Structure 1
Amino acid sequence: MKFAYKFNNLLGTVYRKGNLVFSSDGNSVISPVGNRLTIFDLKNNKTSTLAVQSNYNFTALDVSPNGCLIVASNENGETFMVSTLSQTVIHTYKFHREPSFIKFSPDGKLFGICIEECVYIFRTPGIITGQFNSFIIDRIFKDSHGEKTYIDWSFDSRFLIVGSKDNCAKVYSVKLLEDFNSVILSSHSDSIIGCFFEENSLNAIVVSRNGQMTRWECSMKAEDLHEIYFVKAEPEEKKLKNDSSDEEDQIEENQAVGKIQEINDTGRDKQGKIITETIKERKFFYNKIVRHYLMDELKKENKNVKLTSACYHKKLKLLVTAYSSGAFYLHELPDVSMIHSLNISEYAIDTVTFNNNGDWIGLGVSGAGQLLVWEWQSEQYIMKQQGHSNVMSSLTYSSDGNFLVTGSYDGKVKVWNVSNGFCILTFSEHTSGVTAVDFSRNKKFFVSASLDGTVRAFDMIRYRNFRTLTAPKLVQFSCVSIDYSGEFVAAGAQDVFDIYLWSMKNGKLLEVLSGHEAPVMTLDFSPSSTSTTLVSGDWENEIKIWNCLENSSDHETMNMMSDVICIAFKPSGEEVAVATLNCNISILDIKNSQQLCSIECKKDIGYGMSDGDVITSKKNFESKYFSSIVYSSDGECILAGGKSKFVCIYHVKEGLLLKKFEITQNLCLDGMLEFVNRRNMTEFGNLALIEERDKLEGGNIKIKLPGTLKNDIASRNFKPEVGVSCLQFSPNNQQWAAASTEGLLIYSLDKGIIFDPFQMSVEVTPKATRNLIDEKEYSGALIMALKLNEHPLIQEIIEQIPHAEIDLVLDSMPEIFVHRTAEFISRMLSSQHIEFYLKWTCSLLTKFGQKNELIDSQVLINLHQNLSRKYESLNRICDFNKYTMRVIKKMSQGKINEVEKDDDEMMLINNTINKEDNYVNSDESMSDIDDDTSEE
């Protein structure tokens, strides 16, 4: 139960590659984030990552019209059918190549998948089709002219238009009819990016990569489609003769022709059978109405601009096109009049899509890791998120567990809201990589150390960098720590081997602690309020214990027999754990300077071999070590992670491995396999060690720069190496976070699915509990519900207890049930019955608050955390209503000048509120997305 941590969420990255999809209700956007899928709920302002993990990165996906199924494919051709209700994989289908596009039909009965020159049509399992087997093939369309790039369905799900790289789009009939030959829509000079049917018709819109848009008109109307079926366009004898002729001779330049037969209503009996041959032959063809070039203005500025993605909203008749210059255009059809244009990034926009209503436009930029949702009518961002562009180096929790701060080698510091998963603040004051971050105990500020020679303090109330701490000479800081009182900050340097101590009040340098003879890689203040001990470790196999506030020069040295990598204090402040380069964790008593025990972790870290390694995995295994360790809040366990895909939990006293977590299964990362793939071994050596370049020199380099261990800022296409750079437990011990190559992984305890009764007996049943509450025996009913320990039942019983009886119920409650009651009340402070549960909280704290053995610190932290969230949400609503009522009152009195002042005042209030809810609107100057966004 204590170690039943499960994957909860993925932060730090919002988009990698592939296409974006809006949910069926249009309120959520689904983004492929590496080998996982993340759902951004824009209505409730919350993110959630599905517990579905692929072995490779997802590249194509689509959601069914009813929102129950997601079909997603990865780079290796594995296609997953995922249930959004249970968040589990229903079935997996393996293709021989990577699918390029997936699209469900409007009725939800079929979905199509493009794979090279083929289009596979599958039946959707469910009640609609009556077919519950997954991936049943209905049709296969194949030709050898070019790779398929896009699919769109007609309004009745009977026809399919497919774009390909052979500069043509083709219209197919999905129904199994009389050998219908596909109708070809040609005349494009580049590969097709998007092709769409118009609403309630077979008229088509085709967009190519060079910005050419063509509208095609079909000869058949929508009301005539239910009475047609297709036959062979020509007899077989004529067809053999015409095989040698070119298509250009058979199809006119502006007309695509096929043949159909129409059956009159008089030719059927009551059962629908054909009784007469009243059949007349009609031609089925497309006429090219108009051709437009959408990139004329962009071509004037940059001739190398290409159209990268397009999407068409059929009801509103809006076409949005995205380009490699970072701009997107919104046109209204059929007049092709531009109604909106915006430049959002310096990188190419990889995907663009509309939601169902057509109000929001989703944009994904893989080069910068950006995900944006733009409302084109009001011209504002609904969501504007961007992850770190480089590997995260460090993280830290706030004291209440509401926020997470991450630092990265891209020089940016981000603040994440743990409850909703959005990035609310981004600080980019550092000019080099951030190596360490630390939060103060009063949660008002945090500090970050960087390789640029500065330690910066950031205010969490005013959202600014209010203090910059520097050394007398330029150094590179590798670690930082804040003492318990928050008055002193210490940072270690990796090039001058000194430790610098500053005062946070005046920003002055107090002391320079010298004594290390190697780079100082880690340091930490004692978490005890009665101690000012500072412990530091270096690469000279030594740790030093400083009493820096009393005798700054006095210190005690302990030899660790190997290079010190990381140090972690026990929450009580009496012990310290030291991780060394030989993959051992040593537990030291800092008061007596003695080693209590040692944990050997070499066999637990796991094997792993990079593609470019020239040694075996067994030999490479000797260089593995844990780079981050942290104590749990109770001090009984240690969480350790390093240059491996595994995170381990150890019991300190016993020195045993309790549990092992595999943070990822993504084979697109380096270091995941134990052996070299024999397919890459040739007579010339390992193919992974050979540079592969495009036609132009300097492009698409497959191997990383030699000697780069942490980051490679060059534009390379190599695989990043899996690893965990930092670990942290939350203050309430309910979750822990890992800064890894995949992003910021959150693991939490899931108590909702675990049946954990307490003092169970035969007579304790839900029925007996409800009978007691009907008899108004509130105390007995509550005790019985706590014994069953079912959350819905406890909530039902507590909410039926009158508020006047709360004190009497608590007086008659045995002390053994107080902790369970307080734990439940702490989770219910976010409900709508806030006053009722606040009365329960006040009564509990009044009667049992002074007894630490009844209500522990974790419950108090949860109480404060949930109460703070509720206060912030109510505070924003009350402020908005207060200023709105003031403006309405003055408007009714005719005070126009004061109304204008109040409008400015309300704009300031809204800006303040939007800064707190930065995940909904843009975070202005502190956002890491380009500030030079321009609108044309």
Structure 2
Amino acid sequence: MFKLGDSSYQGYFFDLIVISLVSVEKTPPPPTMKTDFKFSNLLGTVYCQGNLLFSPDGTHLFSPVGNRVTVFNLVDNKSYTLPFAHRKNISRIGLTPQGNILLSVDEDGHAILTNIPRRIVLYHFSFKSKVTALSFAPSGRHFAVGLGRKIEVWHVPSTPDTNEEGDLEFAPFVRHHTHTQHFDDVRHIEWSHDSRFFLSASKDLTARIWSLNAEEGFTPTVLSGHKQGVVAAWFSKDQETIYTVSKDGAVFDWQYVAKPGQDEDEIMDEEDMQWRIVDKHYFMQNGATLRCAAFHPESNLLVAGFSNGIFGLYEMPDFNQIHTLNISQNEIDFVTINKSGEWLAFGASKLGQLLVWEWQSESYILKQQGHFDAMNALVYSPDGQRIVTTADDGKIKVWDIESGFCIVTFTEHTSGITACEFAKKGNVLFTASLDGSIRAWDLIRYRNFRTFTAPERLSFSCMAVDPSGEVVAAGSIDSFDIHIWSVQTGQLLDRLTGHEGPVSSLAFAPNGGLLVSGSWDKTARIWSIFNRTQTSEPLQLMSDVLDIAFRPDSLQIAISTLDGQLTFWSVSEATQVSGVDGRRDVSGGRRITDRRTAANVSGTKSFNTIRYSMDGSCVLAGGNSKYICLYSATTMVLLKKFTVSVNLALSGTQEFLNSKLVTEAGPAALLDDQGEASDLEDRIDRSLPGAKRGDPGARRKNPEVRVTGVAFSPSGTSFCACSTEGLLIYSLDSTVQFDPFDLNMEITPASTLGVLQNEKDYLKALVMAFRLNEAGLVQRVFQAIPYKDIGLVVENFPTVYVARLLRYVAAQTEQSPHVEFCMLWIKALVDKHGAWLMANRGKVDVELRIVSRAVAKMRDEIRRLADDNVYTVEYLIGQANSKAAQAGKGPKTIEWNANGDLEVKALPSTQKEVTMDDILEEESEGEWIGIE
């Protein structure tokens, strides 16, 4: 309720609400640091090897990423990674026609059966051989798998005939039958629409037709005639034609016809009818070989991907070329078409590219590429919505946490990027590179607006930015000096000398007062660069400094050294406060080349990167091992160890090596078997002489597992780590939120009104109304809640429905005349759920913008109404006084009578004329008048 005479009300209450909304960003983290972080997503890598799959509705794309599977939602523009992990890289994935069960198989033939809606692992199984092809029958009752030259057909545990809902039955895999007639690896398996027959394409130059069960008059048929290995084979929509494509770019049309030149009258027996080639087509790609192909029977579209990065789209059976497009610098490894035939998905493993192309509009639906080389550093944006990663490939990628996609890539650097850091205010990013430059990036316009260089050519290995964003400092392994530039002018301000070894780490205090540098000369120095006397305070350590981290309150620093020690120092006294020996904690995993056990290898017993948590109570540390350690900064206790990867394809994930993999020539994984490949292009060595990094032809077969960067999110609810497999995100709230009102409750409009009117349980009634999602019922319950109970209802309101309630209240604010009532709801939501809103700002960003817009709109309307009232009253007073003057009477005034109406009264001759300001001043001590 507002008082009309009080002019101060016009913006006060609304400014209070706006301040409350803004204060969501400054909500302090919880006082106790939680440690139950769990893996929630994998960014930085979108495709490694294997096949791609569209969901049955064509809106989701399943992509194998190392030993995990990432799902891309192409409609909502989001992605998530399934929580399971294989022990080797995934080679094949298959999805049931219902889209609820995923079967993924790794390089060793170990399979995991996963429930997609619930994201839980249901069954583990081993095919005991390498899987080369996998396909589910359209009926969902069987699937066929190619194991080398052998084909096995298995029953699917989820069968529509036994369970109409398609839920999984906990039964082991049952093999239906086996076929062993092929002479080389099976590359592709395709089922007929009625699930009675299936085709197999092999490298033995043939395709074969099989039946699921014994069919009368049917015998397995061989389709031979190709000159190179058959890549794929498909049935047409009417199953009267079979299309086969081979590696040399030949497309054959097969039909069940009689011998050429034989009349229909001469056909006396079924034996005269055979599958014969009726037409031949060729792609003609100038020496490029066919790598993959896909066919869409409903629209007769054939898409083929070639080794030169070109794909072609053709219409069958006439083989009309629709268009060709070059989408990659390397060969396309896999292509698939969604159910509607509109979207084509391509995967290129050498560059880690994943593309979804809409061929009718000729536009990209999805275009993603991970880092080609190892990631070196990462940093969270100040709002916690983005992560920036840098790598040895000279690229800077900005990842959106909510969607999981890379939104922009910068390629101006010409060499590996070693460090990146945000300015504490604004969207400005700084990066340091081995090309001798420090670059500043504007993340609003996405451009490089400033470049800093040294007088001589240096390779910068570390960098730090002053919190104010005015000064940037960088250190190099080529020089022992620290260079300092002005961000505004780009000029070199100073060179700090004192270290006797390469500078390995730099860190500014969060309050901007000091700069701390670490060096290989076994010292760390504290610099006061803004004072006239730039003296440094050396801190003597026992080994080379690897990384330095400031506590958020700027009172303490943590230093990691090469001997595996974490030491904590007081900044004001320059003395060591405490320390922890992390050699035993970080040590883990034996590399293939190690001649000693994992416990005795020295290269993994140190932390290369350390970071404080947002409240300063914990320290996160990672190094050249598979472990990330979380320490308490007060008790020096190891709180938790996180395992980065269990992928045996990476070197350093095993504690003990298998002796059978050691040959006379050394470990089997290090032997070059490229010359033994069966395909000619695989035997050709295209690597550059002496190139070990950055060369597409020389990627190591077993890269080492390591962590090159860690960072806590600004909200403190998650952290991310740069590892060999990609950008791993660990979160506290990765589990699906539990709604207690889902349990055994008969929810109907009648029961909701009964709870509201009889039990007076407003919280329960409001949640029941949201569950039913009926607009009239929600509005009735919402308006029936007393304003005194709003705070209590909102405080106990389930978090699941906070976003929906926020959106509903914002809509009511714009429509309802009950202004103060809606304002109380908004204020209660911000006060009671401010921490949750900040932690999940990416999810409720739309709702917060709607609330802000509604509050601003209401403020403008109230201000305009108040101004109109002021003008109206002034006009009435002026009219009354003018009429009194004309009549020769005394002045008049307007006052409120007992009924609350305005009444014109004459003033005594001794009293002066009253103005509008006097009325407002007098009424400021009166009663409140409601706007309604």
Instruction: Please classify the TM superposition score into its range, dividing by the shorter chain length.
Output: 0.7 to 0.9
Match of 1:676 in 2: 657
Q: Deviations over 1:488-518 (max 9, x none)?
A: 2121122112212222222222221111111
1:802 aligned onto 2:779: no
Q: Cα–Cα, structure 1 residues 784 and 596, in superposed 2: closer, same or farther, change >3 Å?
A: farther
Bigger Cα Rg: 2
Distance in structure 1 (CA, Å) of the matches to 2:719 and 2:774:
27
Distance in structure 2 (CA, Å) of the matches to 1:361 and 1:794:
37
SS in 2 for 1:100: strand
1:38 aligned onto 2:21: no
Q: Cα–Cα, structure 1 residues 697 and 311, in superposed 2: closer, same or farther, change >3 Å?
A: closer
The code of the aligned residue for 1:426 comes to T
1:638 to partner: Cα distance: 1.1
SS in 1 for 2:601: helix
1:289 aligned onto 2:278: yes
Q: Cα–Cα, structure 1 residues 136 and 517, in superposed 2: closer, same or farther, change >3 Å?
A: same
1:675 to partner: Cα distance: 2.4
Q: Confirm or deny: 8 A CA contact 2:425 2:467 kept in the other structure.
A: no
SS in 2 for 1:802: helix
Alignment counterpart, residue 154 of structure 1, candidates 168, 174, 192: 192
Distance in structure 2 (CA, Å) of the matches to 1:655 and 1:41:
43
Q: Which moves more between the two structures, 597-606 or 710-719?
A: 710-719
Matches within 5 A, 1:676-825: 676-694=657-675, 715-750=698-733, 774-775=756-757, 781-782=762-763, 802=782, 808-809=788-789
1:825 to partner: Cα distance: 8.6
The code of the aligned residue for 1:399 comes to P
Structure 1 residue ranges without an equivalent (≥5):
221-251, 262-279, 758-764, 877-936
Q: Cα–Cα, structure 1 residues 689 and 862, in superposed 2: closer, same or farther, change >3 Å?
A: closer
Q: Confirm or deny: 8 A CA contact 2:604 2:624 kept in the other structure.
A: no
Match of 1:238 in 2: none
TM-score normalised according to structure 2 size: 0.78
Q: Cα–Cα, structure 1 residues 415 and 834, in superposed 2: closer, same or farther, change >3 Å?
A: farther
The code of the aligned residue for 2:96 comes to S
1:115 to partner: Cα distance: 0.9
The code of the aligned residue for 1:544 comes to R
1:121 aligned onto 2:153: yes
Matches within 5 A, 1:454-493: 454-493=437-476
Q: Deviations over 1:576-598 (max 9, x none)?
A: 11111111211111011121111
SS in 2 for 1:446: strand
1:384 aligned onto 2:367: yes
The code of the aligned residue for 1:211 comes to G
1:309 aligned onto 2:309: no
1:812 to partner: Cα distance: 6.8
1:378 to partner: Cα distance: 0.5
Matches within 5 A, 1:10-25: 10-25=42-57
Match of 1:137 in 2: 175
1:681 to partner: Cα distance: 2.7
Matches within 5 A, 1:42-441: 42-130=74-162, 132=169, 133-177=171-215, 181-219=219-257, 283-295=272-284, 298-299=285-286, 303=287, 305-441=288-424
Q: Confirm or deny: 8 A CA contact 2:810 2:851 kept in the other structure.
A: no
1:868 to partner: Cα distance: 4.4
SS in 2 for 1:603: helix
1:848 to partner: Cα distance: 11
Q: Confirm or deny: 8 A CA contact 2:351 2:696 kept in the other structure.
A: no
Match of 1:637 in 2: 618
Match of 2:433 in 1: 450
Q: Confirm or deny: 8 A CA contact 1:586 1:598 kept in the other structure.
A: yes
1:332 to partner: Cα distance: 0.5
1:130 to partner: Cα distance: 2.8
Q: Cα–Cα, structure 1 residues 823 and 62, in superposed 2: closer, same or farther, change >3 Å?
A: closer
1:610 aligned onto 2:648: no
Distance in structure 1 (CA, Å) of the matches to 2:86 and 2:712:
27
Q: Cα–Cα, structure 1 residues 338 and 526, in superposed 2: closer, same or farther, change >3 Å?
A: same
Match of 1:580 in 2: 561
Q: Deviations over 1:595-634 (max 9, x none)?
A: 1111111221132111122333332156421111111111
Distance in structure 2 (CA, Å) of the matches to 1:629 and 1:715:
31
1:467 to partner: Cα distance: 1.0
1:287 to partner: Cα distance: 2.0
Q: Cα–Cα, structure 1 residues 10 and 686, in superposed 2: closer, same or farther, change >3 Å?
A: closer
Match of 1:541 in 2: 522
The code of the aligned residue for 1:218 comes to Y
Match of 2:59 in 1: 27
SS in 2 for 1:694: helix
Distance in structure 2 (CA, Å) of the matches to 1:448 and 1:704:
29
SS in 2 for 1:750: coil
SS in 2 for 1:604: helix
Distance in structure 1 (CA, Å) of the matches to 2:851 and 2:58:
27
The code of the aligned residue for 2:782 comes to P
Match of 1:569 in 2: 550
Distance in structure 2 (CA, Å) of the matches to 1:489 and 1:100:
53
Match of 2:908 in 1: none
TM-score normalised according to structure 1 size: 0.78
1:542 to partner: Cα distance: 0.8
1:19 to partner: Cα distance: 0.9
Q: Cα–Cα, structure 1 residues 706 and 803, in superposed 2: closer, same or farther, change >3 Å?
A: farther
1:178 to partner: Cα distance: 6.3
Match of 1:272 in 2: none
Q: Cα–Cα, structure 1 residues 698 and 75, in superposed 2: closer, same or farther, change >3 Å?
A: closer
Q: Confirm or deny: 8 A CA contact 1:826 1:863 kept in the other structure.
A: no
Q: Cα–Cα, structure 1 residues 380 and 503, in superposed 2: closer, same or farther, change >3 Å?
A: same
1:168 to partner: Cα distance: 0.7
Q: Which moves more between the two structures, 551-560 or 193-202?
A: 551-560
Q: Cα–Cα, structure 1 residues 84 and 597, in superposed 2: closer, same or farther, change >3 Å?
A: same
Q: Confirm or deny: 8 A CA contact 2:402 2:843 kept in the other structure.
A: no
Match of 2:645 in 1: 664
1:443 to partner: Cα distance: 3.7
Q: Which moves more between the two structures, 1-10 or 192-201?
A: 1-10
Q: Deviations over 1:805-848 (max 9, x none)?
A: 685335678xxx96x77988975688566446999996488689
Identical-residue share of aligned pairs (%): 36
Q: Deviations over 1:72-111 (max 9, x none)?
A: 2111111222211221222222123211111111221111
1:399 to partner: Cα distance: 1.2
The code of the aligned residue for 1:519 comes to P
Distance in structure 2 (CA, Å) of the matches to 1:497 and 1:423:
36
Structure 2 residue ranges without an equivalent (≥5):
1-32, 164-168, 741-745, 815-819, 854-932
The code of the aligned residue for 2:578 comes to C
Q: Cα–Cα, structure 1 residues 865 and 193, in superposed 2: closer, same or farther, change >3 Å?
A: closer
Matches within 5 A, 1:595-606: 595-606=576-587
SS in 1 for 2:586: coil
Distance in structure 2 (CA, Å) of the matches to 1:503 and 1:610:
44
Q: Deviations over 1:350-382 (max 9, x none)?
A: 001100010111000011100000111110101
SS in 1 for 2:479: coil
SS in 1 for 2:675: coil
1:861 to partner: Cα distance: 3.6
Match of 1:911 in 2: none
> How many residues in Structure 1 have an aligned counterpart in Structure 2?
795
Q: Which moves more between the two structures, 548-557 or 189-198?
A: 548-557
1:69 to partner: Cα distance: 1.2
